[in-house]
Structure 1
Amino acid sequence: MELGMIGLGKMGANMAQRLVRGGHDVVGFDPKPEARSLVEGFGAKSAASLEELVDKLPAPRAVWMMVPAGEITGGTVDALMKLLSPGDTIIDGGNSNYKHTLERAKAVADKGLHYVDCGTSGGVWGLAEGYSMMVGGEKDAVERLRPIFETLAPGKDQGWGHVGPVGSGHYTKMVHNGIEYGLMQAYAEGFSILGHKQEFGLDLHQVAEIWRYGSVVRSWLLDLTADALDKNPTMDGIAPFVPDSGEGRWTVAEAIDLDVPAPVITQSLIARLRSRDGESFADRLLSAMRNEFGGHAMKKE
């Protein structure tokens, strides 16, 4: 099957490479010439513009977007609607907000196009391990793309599935990432407790390696944690600043809308926000309050 790939960053390029290895024809577009040269190096074709990309694909076309969520995704969809023909399919493999996906899908459908949202997980390891894909869209449109999903997934019937109508793929991936926030926070807090028990002199990398086999808390995320602790046991040189790309916030907002308690995911998001407050006015004020009502000493900078 032939597929257009828009966005040849690390993940998009790796996905294109896995597809080429699986026998698919891929035409890749990226504004950066070096990105286009990269995919040509492993056997994909390239296009210097969206117009050229569409021209090189046989109808009915399938175009997969791996671009940042938000304005870039919206602008790309708008551009493709002017270039594609009825019966063609747009696949959004990024982390778009599912509400935006629903809006885009409606606009696309008015043009006679299909819209498939694919929540994609796997990161830089997907090239070798395969990608986990949560796919939303019309049944017929998804079924036509089955060979693509089967090639990108860890196995033909593993790690991917058609989870529901348009929007459900990104919705499922949103919650997936919310869960990821909680898991990461739990591991980080647990290893911090271990590290602070100085009289035991625990080797955190050793503990992580022990837990990787047979333990109830073993996971791929723990495998990656063990690698990180091996490379940098004390996390020297890493600022205690943790970004978020939006999915955790959306998950918490959705939980509130649905009256579903989600304290772990919510607190993990708050911890990330807390990490960015270098001035921490709130903590300074708390210290001042303690001094006011109890005369407790305040630590000076």
Structure 2
Amino acid sequence: MQMGMIGLGRMGGNMVKRLREDGHEIVGFDMNPESGRDVDSLEALVAALDAPRVVWVMVPAGKPTDSTVEQLGELLEPGDIVVDGGNSKYTEDREHAAALAEKGIGFLDCGVSGGVWGAERGYALMIGGSDKDYETVLPIFQSLKPEGEYGLVHAGPVGGGHFAKMVHNGIEYGMMQAFGEGFATMLRSEYVTNPAETMTSWRTGSVVASWLLDLLDNATKDDPELKSVPAVANESGEAKWMVEAALELGVPVPTTAAALWQRQTSRGGADDILRVVTALRAQFGGHVTKVDEIATH
């Protein structure tokens, strides 16, 4: 197929590489002139593609995606299709699809998992949109997915792809939190002398074997206790959206919520809260309140 790719960063650039290796003709555009782009504007991108066009948007969620989709709505023609492969919120997909539909332009939302390893391993893809648009872009999806039976799903109507990716990331949060808690517990125990080696042994034969364990093995090879890794974990928004959606649907998600709170706490968000707790304990129980006193107790 022929396709335009907007956004040639770590994800978009690697996806272009994989697609070209599989024989697709990709026209790439990025705001950065040093990105290896093929054209220097959206207008040039659209002009370089034969109708009916397929344009994949791989830019940060929010305003960058909103602006790009809006501009494409003015440049593309009826019968063209826009694919949003970023981390947009599923509710935004319906707004984008409705705006493009007024101009006869199709829309697919695509949740993408695979990170920087995707160029080699392939990407897990979760697609939302109509059957017709999905079938049109299917050759692209098949080239991006991993080899084998799995790794690609038409999850549902518009919004379904990003909703599925949101849930995927919520599960990921919980899994990483559980691995972290297990590692920390063994690290502080006198019974396990090498937590990293112990967890690496689970990569084969264990019910908790996973790619995350493979990646943890990579991370601990030169730093078995992860002393050089900062104890701060950012959150990109998907787990927060999942907790919000689950509350609306009446689904209890304590594991995802706990992992989300832990990440927010790691960024210093709980410091003021804990100061209040410490001050109140001092008021009713005479507990230690000053930093220098805590250090001596």
Give the TM-score normalised by structure 1: 0.94
Provide the residue aligned with 1:193 in structure 2: 185
Confirm whether residue 221 of structure 1 aligns to residue 226 of structure 2. Answer: no
Confirm whether residue 163 of structure 1 aligns to residue 163 of structure 2. Answer: no
- How far apart are the structure 2 equivalents of 1:237 and 1:219? 24
Letter in 2 for 1:282: I
Shift of residue 241, structure 1, vs aligned partner: 1.6
Give unpaired runs (5+ residues) of structure 2. 293-297
Distance change in 2, residues 1:278/1:93 (3 Å) = closer
**Larger mean Cα displacement after TM superposition, 236-245 or 130-139:** 236-245
**Larger mean Cα displacement after TM superposition, 289-298 or 160-169:** 289-298
Provide the residue aligned with 2:222 in structure 1: 231
Of 103, 118, 121, 2:113 maps to 121
Q: Tell me the secondary structure at the aligned position of residue 227 of structure 1.
A: helix
Provide the residue aligned with 1:42 in structure 2: none
The answer on whether the counterparts of 2:196 and 2:225 sit within 8 Å (CA) in structure 1 is: no
- How far apart are the structure 2 equivalents of 1:180 and 1:130? 18
Distance change in 2, residues 1:264/1:30 (3 Å) = same
- How far apart are the structure 2 equivalents of 1:295 and 1:156? 64
Provide the residue aligned with 1:176 in structure 2: 168
Letter in 1 for 2:146: P
Shift of residue 296, structure 1, vs aligned partner: 2.7
Percentage of identical aligned residues: 48
Q: Tell me the secondary structure at the aligned position of residue 135 of structure 1.
A: strand
Of 134, 138, 142, 1:146 maps to 138
The answer on whether the counterparts of 2:173 and 2:260 sit within 8 Å (CA) in structure 1 is: yes
Provide the residue aligned with 1:41 in structure 2: none
Deviations along 1:195-217, whole A, 9 cap, x unmatched? 111x2352122112111111111
Q: Tell me the secondary structure at the aligned position of residue 19 of structure 2.
A: helix
Letter in 2 for 1:257: E
Q: Tell me the secondary structure at the aligned position of residue 68 of structure 1.
A: coil
Provide the residue aligned with 2:35 in structure 1: 35
Letter in 2 for 1:131: Y
Q: Tell me the secondary structure at the aligned position of residue 56 of structure 2.
A: strand
Shift of residue 282, structure 1, vs aligned partner: 1.8
- How far apart are the structure 2 equivalents of 1:239 and 1:128? 28
Deviations along 1:135-181, whole A, 9 cap, x unmatched? 01110111011110110001364200211111100111011111111
Confirm whether residue 270 of structure 1 aligns to residue 255 of structure 2. Answer: no
The answer on whether the counterparts of 1:36 and 1:47 sit within 8 Å (CA) in structure 2 is: no
- How far apart are the structure 1 equivalents of 2:269 and 2:87? 28
Letter in 2 for 1:182: G
Q: Tell me the secondary structure at the aligned position of residue 47 of structure 1.
A: coil
Provide the residue aligned with 2:295 in structure 1: none
Confirm whether residue 79 of structure 1 aligns to residue 75 of structure 2. Answer: no
Provide the residue aligned with 2:291 in structure 1: 300
The answer on whether the counterparts of 1:120 and 1:131 sit within 8 Å (CA) in structure 2 is: yes
Shift of residue 236, structure 1, vs aligned partner: 2.7
The answer on whether the counterparts of 2:14 and 2:118 sit within 8 Å (CA) in structure 1 is: yes
- How far apart are the structure 1 equivalents of 2:84 and 2:22? 21
Confirm whether residue 13 of structure 1 aligns to residue 13 of structure 2. Answer: yes
Give the TM-score normalised by structure 2: 0.95
Of 227, 248, 252, 2:243 maps to 252
Shift of residue 280, structure 1, vs aligned partner: 0.7
User: What's the RMSD between the two structures over aligned residues?
Assistant: 1.4
Shift of residue 298, structure 1, vs aligned partner: 3.7
Give unpaired runs (5+ residues) of structure 1. 38-45
